[in-house]
Structures are given as C-alpha cells and as structure tokens.
Amino acid sequence: MTPTVNPSAAPVRDPKNFEITLVKIGGGDEFDNAFNLAKLRWEEIIKGDLPDQPRVNNPNFDWFAGEWPGQGVNIAIDDLLIGYEFTEIDGRGGVLGFAGPKYARQEPTAITTISGIMKFDIADFESSSQNDAFLIILHEMVRMG
C-alpha cells in the first residue's frame, strides 16, 4: 500500500474505535502527511477501545516524562498519545529513528501503552521520499505496544 499524497477526508470516528493522538515537537511539516497516514493505518488495524486516561491533576505532570523540557503535555487521552520529533541522532546512514512507551495502563489481561515518544534522524529523512517516511513511521509506531 502506498500513501496518498492528498487523502480523502478522514472517516467519521466511532468512539468505540482505537484512537491515536499525535503531538509534533519542533518545526517542519514535510512529513506531516506521512504521520497522519500511519496513524490512520494503525487506527484501521487495531480493533476496540482502551480505557480513557483523564488529564492528571498536577501542573507538573507530563505524559512524555520530561523527554522534551518545556514542552510538557498533560491532556486527556483516548487511547494512545504519541509525541514525535526530528532531531540529530547519528547522522546519515545510521539509526533512522527509535520509539518507545513512557506510560502504560495495567489491565487484567494486558499492559497497554498510554503515551510514548518517537524520534527520527533529520539527516536520514532529508533524502527520504514520502513513501519511505510513511513506512519508517508505521514501523516505529509498532514499538508503542
């Protein structure tokens, strides 16, 4: 499947479906479409709903556990919150990106991620196509589970 450069309107969301909220840290919008397409693809694949997480009643709380100082996020979450940024990691040709959970919910039969982060090497993405970016982002989103 190749991402569409101009996708049609987003489908109407059923509150019982899985929902991912993306938060971009920093500038640059070249790959916003690839992020949104990856988000939509995972929302199609994952069936069901997880317990909502309310905003935490603490002005210092950050769902990203201080990963980005001064950029704290404390919002209600349904079902997963992912923060992402493009940054320098190791230069061109090395690590493309990495991801992982920051907070999780304990359920009777599983532990599920509430929030997580993704970081991508800006040097590697300078020469990436939209399709390559989509596939890399889709792959890293798997690491939230």
pLDDT tens digit sequence for 63-121? 999 999 988 999 999 999 999 999 999 888 888 899 999 999 998 888 999 999 999 99
pLDDT of 16 above 80: no
How many structural domains compose the chain?
1
Pairwise CA distance, residues 130 & 134, whole Å: 6
Q: What pLDDT score does 5 carry?
A: 47
Residue 129 belongs to a domain: yes
DSSP, res 83: E
Residue 30 belongs to a domain: no
pLDDT of 126 above 50: yes
Residue 10 belongs to a domain: no
The pLDDT tens digits for 29-62 are: 899 999 999 999 999 999 889 999 999 999 999 9
Q: What is the 3-state secondary structure (H, E, C) of 4-72?
A: CCCCCCCCCCCCCCCCEEEEECCCCCCCHHHHHHHHHHHHHHCCCCCCCECCCCCCCCCCCCCCCCCCC
Pairwise CA distance, residues 136 & 86, whole Å: 13
Q: Compute the radius of gyration of the chain from its Cα atoms.
A: 15
Host domain of residue 135:
37-142
Residue 21: pLDDT band with limits 50, 70, 90: very high
DSSP, res 77: B
Residue 29 belongs to a domain: no
Check if the beta carbon of residue 49 is closer than 8 Å to that of residue 16. Answer: yes
Residue 105 belongs to a domain: yes
Residue 15 belongs to a domain: no
Residue 125 belongs to a domain: yes
Instruction: Work out the burial of residue 40: count CB atoms within 10 Å of its CB; fewer than 13 is exposed, 13-18 middle, 19 or more buried.
Output: middle
Residue 128 belongs to a domain: yes
